[in-house]
Amino acid sequence: MRDGLLPLFQESYRELRPRAPVPEILVEFFAFANINNTIRLREGRLLVRLSDLLEGAPRQVVEAMAHILLAKMYREPVDRARASHYRRYVSSHYMTQKAHLVRQLRGRKRIHSAEGRAYDLAAIFDELNARFFDGLLDRPQMTWSSERARNRLGHYDPAHNAIVISRVFDHPRVPRYAVEYIVYHEMLHLKHPVRFEGSRRSVHSREFQAEERRFPQLQAAKNFLRAL
Ligand SMILES: [Zn+2]
């Protein structure tokens, strides 16, 4: 796969932007602890980092990934068939297991653990990332809060690039969708930074709220949290 990667990205670029000259593209596999793919434009060069978890992926999957990354980069519409093809592959049992295994091996060295007694926040982030964000969000540090604070469900801390979730929810009696919803909400904060409209801060903008409604169990999660 490695050798065929560059032409694959070049083809995808030409398809997306037929009139623009193809820039220099650098593709490398990177040992992310999760399924994470990033693209950056630096001094006219495209730098692509693919998770090494995709190393053995079939050609169509990597092709779909190339398309998704480039489309996001140039704000072109993402082809639905390819997006769902990619999502299906990533969320398949095999990939989830492999990601989990790699995370366990790599994660041991970390001091802060996203893994609670009931829920692994990093795993939840990765699954939501694949399901709702085409795997394009960079995972910040995921941690359970140290205190059992109930007043704050969770928050995104931009200074430390961390999502902190209240430990109250790390309990088997808390339904998974409730934890997922709290994490999903914080991921939206990651995607939609606070905007200033005049002197007003727009924390939960219209786009934020519209995207929040894409979470299937939104109402159930809100009901559960309200009943606490
Ligand atoms: Zn919020």
Q: Which run of H or of E encompasses 42? A: strand 38-42
pTM of this structure: 0.53
Interval between CA 201 and ligand 1 midpoint (Å): 12
Ligand 1 centroid to residue 187 C-alpha, Å: 9
Centroid of ligand 1 to alpha carbon of 32 (angstroms):
27
The model's pLDDT over 180-220, given as tens digits with 9 standing for 90+, comes to 999 999 999 988 877 766 666 678 888 999 999 999 999 99
HSE-CB of 203 using CA atoms within 13 angstroms: 4
Cα(40)–Cα(50) distance, rounded to whole angstroms? 12
Distance CA 16, CA 136 (A): 18
Report the alpha-carbon distance of residue 162 to residue 24 in Å, rounded.
33
Q: Give the Å distance between the CA of 83 and the centre of ligand 1.
A: 27
Q: How confident is the model at residue 111 (pLDDT cuts 50, 70, 90)?
A: very low
- Number of C-beta neighbours around residue 228 at 10 A: 10
pLDDT band at 114 (very low <50, low <70, confident <90, very high): confident
pLDDT in tens, 160-170: 788 999 888 99
Strand partners, 144: 165
110 alpha carbon – ligand 1 mean position (Å): 28
141 C-alpha to center of ligand 1: Å?
18
Angle 165-204-144 from CA coordinates, rounded to 5°: 5
pLDDT computed for residue 104 by the predictor: 61
> Which of 25-29, 42-46, 52-56, 176-180 bottoms out in mean pLDDT, i.e. has the lowest?
52-56
Q: Compute, in angstroms, the gap from residue 103 CA to the centroid of ligand 1.
A: 28
Specify which residues 41 forms β-bridges with.
46
Please, which residues bridge with residue 157 across strands? Answer: 162
Task: Give the distance (Å) from ligand 1 centre to CA of residue 182.
Answer: 9
What share of residues in the chain are helix, strand, coil (percent, to 5)?
45, 15, 40
Residue 203 Cα to ligand 1 middle (Å):
7
